Chain A
Amino acid sequence: MSNTVISVEHLSKQYDLGVIGTGTLTRDFERWWARARGKPDPYSPVVQDYSRRHADDSILALDDVSFAVQQGEALGIIGRNGAGKSTLLKILSRVTAPTSGVVKVKGRIGSLLEVGTGFHPELTGRENVYLNGAILGMKKAEVARKFDEIVAFSGVEKFIDTPVKRYSSGMYVRLAFAVAAHLDPEILIVDEVLAVGDAEFQKKCLGKMGDVAGEGRTVLFVSHNMGSIQNLCPRSMLLRLGKIASMDHTSRVISEYLSASREPNVFYPNEGERLGTQRVRVEDFRIEPPNPATGLPARFILQLTVPESENQNLQADFSISFMTEQGSKIFQLHSGHIRHELSLKKGLNTITAEPEYLPLTPGKYLVNLWVGSGRIVYDWIPEALSFEVVPGSFNEGVLIDNRGYPVVVNARWHQ
């Protein structure tokens, strides 16, 4: 049985770029008259095809978006700036209308697109609570009932009867959120409002939102803070250029979002983050095979140069460190672990690390590279490469999959 509370069907939103209108009243009137009669626009420069993106004419902020949200779901919405997240929320909040498509909703929607909407500086905190509450859709009686709770949540009891223009920005934001937090809608939509306020305030907000989700209400949450999304939303949606790129478990969506900016298997010596004396320099790093498999052998190859000025061979240790895409450390391949300093000659050197098998489970990973000797760092490059591990097995036929654990270790099992 379907418990869908939000059904978005083929939603599109087109914004016209540049100067709105043809520029003169008479021409615009002609255009309107033609449209009203159902005829094509006489002043449109391109074909009247709203399903494609016009070159310089307009932009499709949302492009045929369809999805459904179930009752009680806490759905995260992430994506780059300009991906269409805010537009989607604006349409759901009825601030603007779609160009085509339909949204069907069960229950009342409460939207938090901004904190303190409608706050008037001359009115007191008390008056603004009532005004803001009414703007958000609460009845006067409802606000009156929750008034004490709201004020207590905000912490501005002492100043509730002073005009808000005298509040500090922190007080302002706390009071504004307190009103919105007590909205009690069936569906709560929040757009990055947590970007304002200090850490304590943000914790309070997230806590309140968590309560709302816990009470079985539906929450849609847009944020750039992957941590908050991860904590609040089991499932998320990734928007890219107005389309849904993926809708899945949050951790998978987040890693797709993060990895989208990095090409896999491309050595990236980001000079901004690189450290070390540079007495030895890593010129290249690659993996063979490029997409290694779990449980099977793989080779990690460093190409290093030692300047001609060195008179004798350099002793050095090497470390290849593996992290998750979010930056959690997993394990290291370190020549120092086995007391195996290698000797580097002048010019180009190739060093290979060859573990017996690759212990990483299927997924995407980042590599940090380190070359040094004892305490001295010759070259250190964080996140030098990103790569993907494909399923493999220790024994033939038994594929190892990722169950949330990033590494597997072979062992002998016996009674």
Chain B
Amino acid sequence: MDMMEEKAAENWDLVITPRKKWYDLQLREVWRYRDLISLFVRRDFVSRYKQTILGPLWLIIQPILNSLVFTVVFGNIARLSTDGLPPMLFYMSATVLWSYFSNCLTGTSQTFIQNAHLFGKVYFPRLVMPVSIVISNLITLAIQFALFMGFRFYFSAVNAAVHFTPWAWAFPLLILLMAGLGLGFGIIVSSLTTKYRDLNYLVSFGVSLWMYATPVLYPVSSIPESWRWIAVVNPITPIVETFRAGFLGQGTVSWARLGYSGAFMLVVLIIGVVIFNRVEKTFIDTV
């Protein structure tokens, strides 16, 4: 075989090998499958609300109900501080953010087991599923954020002590941080749960605990000194506080804090990617 033929013969479109590089995410492949991502997002929405009476209205009812309950229980009965902000807004702001993060995490962590059947029969870049979850949760976030803004404008119209600060511009960054953290942790958890099923139970329990360790139901300023370290270590804390500071005017924020969250996110994502790549190609053998 002469040189020309050798060159042509080596021109393969696809090479399948046992291992791939630990950092190889095949993002180009994921982009090629973007139609599939949007269809999965659509499928999630449609299947969740078809044949329900209220349908997508649940997306709005939930945060309202939650915030109401929190206001009554924690605001009025337990009399927790809300940093001088109207309780409804205080709780709603955090729950909207928190549900985005926790939905990303739990959604991603369950995706491999829930879709094991699909993965066993057809190929598409596995990353497509977690990405579609992050995006469909983004839609939920958008709707609930609009709801929150509606309440906020109502409250400011009746002269409550709320005002915007420049921190509000950090909102896109906050979304990115939450998505990254939710995705990273979700991938780590799901890579582990394909082998150790009981980790699944730990996840929902763990996420609830995590919420209590985050200043969702209370401001950072009211945490006693000896417990402060929890809030400091928690990467979600700066996100929630920055949001409140930006849209409501009160919160304990700094760029350093946000930088910490960013670094945390990068570490988690890298670990997640490494584990994911190791597990992805053959997890269907063990799931």
B122 near A21 with CB under 8 A, answer: no
CB distance from A97 to the nearest CB of B (A): 3
Interface size class of A (residues with CB under 8 A): 35 or more
Out of A1, A28, A122, which one reaches B46, CB within 8 Å?
Answer: A122
Residues of A within 8 A of B16 (CB): 91-92, 94, 97-98, 102-105
Residues of A within 8 A of B159 (CB): none
Which of A107-115, A202-210, A377-385, A393-401 binds B? A107-115
Residue of A nearest to B284 (CB): A96
A28 near B195 with CB under 8 A, answer: yes
B43 near A95 with CB under 8 A, answer: no
Query: What CA separation (Å) do A120 and B41 show in the bound complex?
Result: 13
Interface-centre pick from B16, B19, B282 (highest chain A CB count, 10 A): B16
Given contacts A104-B14, A105-B15, A134-B36, contact A96 B118 (CB under 8 A): no
Q: Is B12 an interface residue (CB 8 A)?
A: yes
Residues of A within 8 A of B255 (CB): none
A117 near B47 with CB under 8 A, answer: no
CB distance from A321 to the nearest CB of B (A): 46
Residues of B within 8 A of A114 (CB): 121-122
Q: Is B285 an interface residue (CB 8 A)?
A: yes
Query: What CA separation (Å) do A136 and B124 show in the bound complex?
Result: 8
CB distance from A391 to the nearest CB of B (A): 37
Residue of A nearest to B124 (CB): A135
Residues of A within 8 A of B124 (CB): 135, 137
Query: What CA separation (Å) do A15 and B123 show in the bound complex?
Result: 20
Residue of B nearest to A107 (CB): B13
B33 near A134 with CB under 8 A, answer: yes
CB distance from B247 to the nearest CB of A (A): 36
B46 near A127 with CB under 8 A, answer: yes
Q: Is B208 an interface residue (CB 8 A)?
A: no
A117 near B9 with CB under 8 A, answer: no
CB distance from B286 to the nearest CB of A (A): 5
Q: Is A131 an interface residue (CB 8 A)?
A: yes
Out of B12, B40, B282, which one reaches A96, CB within 8 Å?
Answer: B282
CB distance from B50 to the nearest CB of A (A): 5
A95 near B284 with CB under 8 A, answer: yes
A96 near B35 with CB under 8 A, answer: no
Q: Is A337 an interface residue (CB 8 A)?
A: no
Residue of A nearest to B42 (CB): A127
Interface-centre pick from B9, B47, B122, B195 (highest chain A CB count, 10 A): B122
CB distance from A34 to the nearest CB of B (A): 14
CB distance from A304 to the nearest CB of B (A): 56
Interface-centre pick from B12, B51, B284, B286 (highest chain A CB count, 10 A): B12
CB distance from A105 to the nearest CB of B (A): 4
Q: Is A123 an interface residue (CB 8 A)?
A: yes
CB distance from B28 to the nearest CB of A (A): 14
A122 near B50 with CB under 8 A, answer: yes
B118 near A20 with CB under 8 A, answer: no
**Docked complex: B1-39 residues within 8 A CB-CB of A:** 1, 5, 9, 11-19, 33, 35-36, 38-39
B123 near A94 with CB under 8 A, answer: yes
Residues of A within 8 A of B15 (CB): 102-105
Residues of B within 8 A of A117 (CB): 118, 121-122
Interface membership of chain A positions 11-40, coded 1 if the CB is closer than 8 angstroms to chain B and 0 otherwise:
000011000110001001000000000000
Residues of B within 8 A of A25 (CB): 196
Residue of B nearest to A139 (CB): B35
Query: What CA separation (Å) do A242 and B40 show in the bound complex?
Result: 36
Residues of B within 8 A of A20 (CB): 195, 286
CB distance from B5 to the nearest CB of A (A): 6
Interface membership of chain B positions 168-187, coded 1 if the CB is closer than 8 angstroms to chain A and 0 otherwise:
00000000000000000000
B195 near A113 with CB under 8 A, answer: no
Q: Is A106 an interface residue (CB 8 A)?
A: yes
Q: Is A101 an interface residue (CB 8 A)?
A: yes
Query: What CA separation (Å) do A67 and B49 show in the bound complex?
Result: 50
Query: What CA separation (Å) do A23 and B75 show in the bound complex?
Result: 47
A134 near B121 with CB under 8 A, answer: no
Residues of B within 8 A of A131 (CB): 39-40, 43
Interface membership of chain B positions 65-84, coded 1 if the CB is closer than 8 angstroms to chain A and 0 otherwise:
00000000000000000000
Q: Is A100 an interface residue (CB 8 A)?
A: yes
Residue of B nearest to A100 (CB): B18
CB distance from B219 to the nearest CB of A (A): 37
Residues of A within 8 A of B285 (CB): 15-16, 96
Query: What CA separation (Å) do A118 and B9 show in the bound complex?
Result: 36
Q: Is B281 an interface residue (CB 8 A)?
A: yes
Q: Is A274 an interface residue (CB 8 A)?
A: no
Residues of A within 8 A of B39 (CB): 130-131, 134, 140
Query: What CA separation (Å) do A20 and B16 show in the bound complex?
Result: 24
Q: Is A51 an interface residue (CB 8 A)?
A: no
Interface membership of chain A positions 267-289, coded 1 if the CB is closer than 8 angstroms to chain B and 0 otherwise:
00000000000000000000000
CB distance from B281 to the nearest CB of A (A): 3
Residues of B within 8 A of A107 (CB): 13
Query: What CA separation (Å) do A228 and B269 show in the bound complex?
Result: 49
Residues of B within 8 A of A127 (CB): 42-43, 46
Q: Is B259 an interface residue (CB 8 A)?
A: no
Q: Is A2 an interface residue (CB 8 A)?
A: yes
CB distance from A191 to the nearest CB of B (A): 9
Q: Is A99 an interface residue (CB 8 A)?
A: yes
Query: What CA separation (Å) do A363 and B281 show in the bound complex?
Result: 45
Name B's A-contacting residues (CB within 8 A).
1, 5, 9, 11-19, 33, 35-36, 38-40, 42-43, 46-47, 50-51, 118-124, 195-196, 281-282, 284-286
Interchain residue pairs with CB less than 8 A apart (22): A20-B195, A92-B16, A96-B282, A97-B16, A97-B17, A104-B12, A104-B15, A106-B11, A107-B13, A111-B123, A114-B121, A117-B122, A123-B43, A123-B47, A127-B42, A131-B43, A134-B33, A134-B35, A134-B36, A135-B36, A140-B35, A140-B38
Return the 6 tightest CB-CB contacts between A and B, nearest first. Answer: A97-B281, A94-B123, A103-B16, A134-B36, A105-B14, A140-B35
Given A111-B122, A134-B36, 19 additional A-B pairs, CB 8 A: A2-B9, A21-B195, A21-B196, A91-B16, A94-B16, A94-B123, A96-B284, A97-B19, A98-B18, A99-B18, A100-B18, A104-B16, A105-B13, A107-B13, A117-B118, A122-B47, A123-B47, A134-B35, A163-B50
